[in-house]
């Protein structure tokens, strides 16, 4: 069995609400609001109803992902009951009225969240903790001064303010409309100026707070000092993936304002110089992931391919990207094995990848349980619990989905946003927990103690059997007999399942060696 210190880590990080403290797709557009939402989801109390008026009272004074006692409800769930959004139009209601109503509900809910820990509110006992969390999100003073954030004007805001001023001054005499038209014509004639890297960096920190949390960067630094082998996969939607990749690459080349060696900051590089790992995300390490009902496809090469929004079915991939595919941009990943193999091939040359995904799709994590030397971990604050978990962990050997209870704290790390903010070693703690669970699984397998997944696998194979009568008789046979020992289970398996369970893991490892040593 591989020792923990020699195991290679492949760390997948969802971006929003995990390493970036924002979640605009769910209305959490600011860091204080995102933290307030995180606190409300982990605050548990009792709901009472008096004359149709609901009231929530804090019972458990420690944050917890799950209800610590039966009958308790989180403050977030309480707000959902108290201020439910509409999911369909009322009779005679227009679409605009429907959206306006839900927007008002969101604004009221957000106000409740922001006031939750303030004096006189249900979560006032958490006041000091919430204030401490918000203070921890601010950039150090020396970094703010280095970036000139205190007196740095925002060009986008300035344009909006100027436009508003022109409209106000010209109101009533037709001048505003004429000036606006002239301004639009001038803007059309002027070539659009591309933002400089300096301006992009300032825009990331315009609220004087961190974009990517320091705990993420500290994790990379710690892994480097520990001489661990690792690779990073950034995963997120359009709004997050590009800014995150930009900041990450700046960190890698030593130009991140918090790790550049200026204004008292440490000099950190992951650019391949001076025996450092090269974690820079190159263009051919950027991919777009598409998940359909029948298959998954991945397009490597760029995050800026044209007509990306026109992809609705698998056939669209080849049609839309046909003229864009060159030696850097390629279509791949028609099945889990191909996707996993492609990713691991990339990690032979590079140490970081970025994957753009759709916000409405579940996340997929491909793993090879037979590969004891590699561990994949997916960090996500939005993954959910049990059947509602949005991360599907797929075994590339058997092709089945690994159940949530056998993936959590091993392949899936459920992130608590407030701890990612307040604890710089938080992700390392999660890595250690996942590695420990994985090591226990490996030890059990090597000692012959197979996981419950075998029974789930057997049931899955039986359900797929064409002869339904054989399925029924097999289930009846299972009910009549006592549980078989491990040797008897292997002997009673169908041929195809026996091969998958015993031969394929060994054969797969051999094929990987052949592919490496003799690629042709």
Q: In terms of DSSP bridges, do strands 53-60 and 44-50 run parallel, antiparallel, or are they unpaired?
A: antiparallel
What's the confidence (pLDDT) of residue 414? 95
- Reply yes or no on whether the pLDDT at 369 is more than 50: yes
Q: Residue 416 pLDDT more than 60?
A: yes
Residue 194: predicted pLDDT: 76
* Residue 407 belongs to a domain: no
**Least confident interval from 39-43, 343-347, 474-478:** 474-478
Residue with the larger pLDDT of the pair 443 and 219:
219
Q: What angle do CA 505, 510, 513 make, to 5 degrees?
A: 130
Quote the CA–CA distance of 431 and 491 in Å, as a whole number. Answer: 37
The residue count for the chain: 520
Q: Does residue 185 sit in the same domain as residue 95? A: no
154 and 117, same domain (yes or no): no
Q: Render the burial of 330-369: b for 16+ CB within 10 Å, e for the rest.
A: bbbbeebebbbbbbbebbeebbbbbbbbeeeeebbbbbbb
pLDDT digits (tens, 9 = 90+) for 430-464: 999 999 999 999 888 877 655 454 555 555 555 55
- Residue 31's pLDDT band (boundaries 50, 70, 90)? very high
Token duo for residue 339: 């996707």
Tell whether 43 and 120 lie within a shared domain: yes
Residue 211 forms part of a structural domain: no
What CA–CA distance (Å, rounded) separates 344 from 350?
10
Rounded Cα–Cα distance for residues 78 and 161 (Å): 39
Position 329 scores a pLDDT of 56
- Residue-level pLDDT at 129: 95
Task: Answer yes or no: is 4 within a domain.
Answer: no
The Cα 231–Cα 351 span in angstroms is 5
Specify whether 29 is located in the same domain as 78.
yes
Whether residue 114 sits in one domain with residue 85: yes
pLDDT at 14: 95
Q: Report residue 351's pLDDT band, with 50, 70 and 90 as the boundaries.
A: very high
The tally of domains found in the chain comes to 4
Q: Give helix 238-252 / helix 197-204 axis angle, nearest 10°.
A: 120
Non-local (6+) Cβ contacts of 333 within 8 A are 289, 296, 297, 298, 339, 342
Same structural domain, 116 and 185: no
Question: Which of 58-67, 193-202, 227-236, 370-379 is predicted least confidently?
Answer: 193-202
What pLDDT score was predicted for residue 281?
Answer: 95
Q: Give whole-number Cα distances, 495 to 102, 391, 503, 510, in Å.
A: 56, 31, 11, 21
Report yes or no: 360 and 394 within 8 Å, Cβ to Cβ: no
pLDDT computed for residue 151 by the predictor: 53
Please check whether residues 154 and 132 belong to one and the same domain: no
Q: Is residue 31 part of a domain?
A: yes
Average pLDDT over residues 381-406: 89
pLDDT > 50? residue 405: yes
Q: Where are the alpha helices (DSSP H) in 1-90?
A: 31-41, 75-82
108 and 47 within one domain: yes
Listed in sequence order, the residues at least 6 apart from 310 whose beta carbon sits closer than 8 Å to its beta carbon are 316, 320
Burial class (CB in 10 A: 0-12, 13-18, 19+), 171: exposed
Q: Is 419 part of a structural domain of the chain?
A: no
Among candidate residues 136, 165, 193, the one where a domain is terminated: 136
pLDDT higher than threshold 80 for residue 186: no
Are residues 123 and 39 located together in one domain of the fold?
yes
Which stretches does DSSP call E strand in 350-492? Answer: 352-356, 363-367, 374-380, 391-395, 412-414
User: What's CA 503's distance to the chain center, in Å?
Assistant: 34
pLDDT at 38: 94
pTM of the entire predicted model: 0.78
Token output for 505: 């893991």
The pLDDT value recorded for residue 384 is: 84
Is 277 inside a domain boundary?
no
Q: Let me know if residue 164 belongs to a domain.
A: yes
- Name the token pair of 65: 């992902």
Residue 156 and residue 123 share a domain: no
Whether 294 maps to a domain, the answer reads: yes
**315-348: pLDDT as tens digits:** 777 776 655 555 555 666 667 777 788 888 888 8
| Same domain (yes/no): 163, 119 | no
Q: Return the pLDDT at 466.
A: 46
pLDDT at 67 over 70: yes
**2 pLDDT higher than 50:** no
Domain coverage including residue 501: 453-517
Q: Which band of pLDDT confidence, cut at 50, 70 and 90, is reported for residue 418?
A: very high
Top-ranked range on mean pLDDT: pick from 96-100, 162-166, 296-300: 96-100
> Is there a single domain that holds both residue 81 and residue 117?
yes
Could you give the CA distance from residue 203 to residue 207 in angstroms, rounded to a whole number? 8
| Mean pLDDT score of the chain | 81
């Amino acid at each position: 069995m591989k020792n923990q210190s020699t195991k290679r880590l492949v760390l997948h990080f969802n971006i929003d609400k995990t390493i970036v403290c924002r979640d605009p797709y769910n209305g959490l557009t600011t860091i204080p609001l995102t933290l307030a939402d995180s606190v409300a989801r982990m605050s548990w109390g009792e709901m009472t109803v008096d004359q149709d008026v609901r009231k929530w009272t804090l019972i458990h004074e420690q944050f917890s992902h799950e209800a610590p006692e039966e009958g308790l409800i989180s403050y977030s769930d309480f707000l959902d009951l108290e201020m439910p959004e509409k999911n369909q139009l009322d009779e005679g209601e227009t679409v605009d009225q429907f959206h306006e109503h839900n927007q008002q509900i969101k604004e009221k809910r957000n106000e409740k969240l922001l006031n939750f820990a303030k004096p006189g509110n249900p979560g006032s006992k958490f006041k000091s903790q919430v204030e401490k969390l918000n203070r921890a999100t601010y950039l150090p003073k020396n970094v703010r001064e280095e970036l000139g954030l205190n007196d740095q004007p925002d060009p986008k805001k300035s344009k909006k303010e100027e436009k508003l001023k022109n409209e106000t001054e010209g109101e009533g005499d037709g001048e505003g409309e004429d000036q606006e038209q002239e301004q639009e014509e001038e803007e059309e004639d002027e070539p659009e100026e591309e933002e400089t890297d300096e301006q992009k960096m300032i825009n990331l920190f315009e609220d004087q707070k961190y974009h990517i949390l320091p705990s993420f960067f500290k994790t990379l630094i710690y892994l480097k000092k520990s001489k661990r082998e690792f690779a990073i996969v950034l995963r997120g939607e359009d709004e997050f993936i590009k800014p995150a990749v930009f900041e990450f690459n700046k960190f890698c080349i030593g130009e991140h304002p918090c790790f550049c060696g200026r204004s008292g900051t440490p000099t950190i590089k992951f650019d391949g110089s001076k025996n450092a790992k090269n974690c820079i995300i190159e263009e051919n390490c950027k991919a777009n992931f598409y998940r359909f009902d029948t298959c998954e496809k991945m397009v490597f090469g760029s995050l800026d391919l044209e007509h990306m929004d026109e992809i609705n079915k698998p056939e669209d991939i080849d049609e839309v990207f046909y003229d864009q595919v060159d030696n850097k941009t390629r279509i791949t990943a028609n099945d889990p094995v191909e996707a996993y193999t492609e990713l691991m091939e990339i990690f032979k040359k590079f140490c970081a990848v970025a994957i753009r995904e759709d916000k409405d799709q579940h996340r997929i994590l491909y793993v090879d349980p037979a590969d004891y030397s590699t561990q994949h971990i997916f960090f996500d604050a939005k993954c959910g619990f049990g059947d509602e978990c949005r991360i599907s962990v797929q075994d590339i050997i058997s092709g089945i989905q690994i159940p949530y209870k056998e993936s959590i704290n091993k392949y899936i790390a459920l992130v608590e946003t407030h701890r990612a903010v307040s604890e710089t070693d938080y992700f390392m703690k999660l890595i250690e927990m996942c590695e420990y669970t994985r090591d226990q699984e490996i030890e059990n397998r090597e000692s012959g103690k197979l996981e419950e997944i075998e029974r789930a696998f057997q049931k899955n194979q039986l359900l797929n059997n064409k002869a339904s009568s054989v399925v029924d008789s097999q289930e009846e046979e299972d009910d009549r007999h006592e549980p078989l020992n491990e040797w008897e289970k292997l002997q009673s398996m169908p041929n195809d399942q026996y091969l998958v369970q015993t031969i394929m893991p060994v054969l797969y490892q051999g094929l990987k060696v052949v592919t490496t040593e003799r690629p042709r």
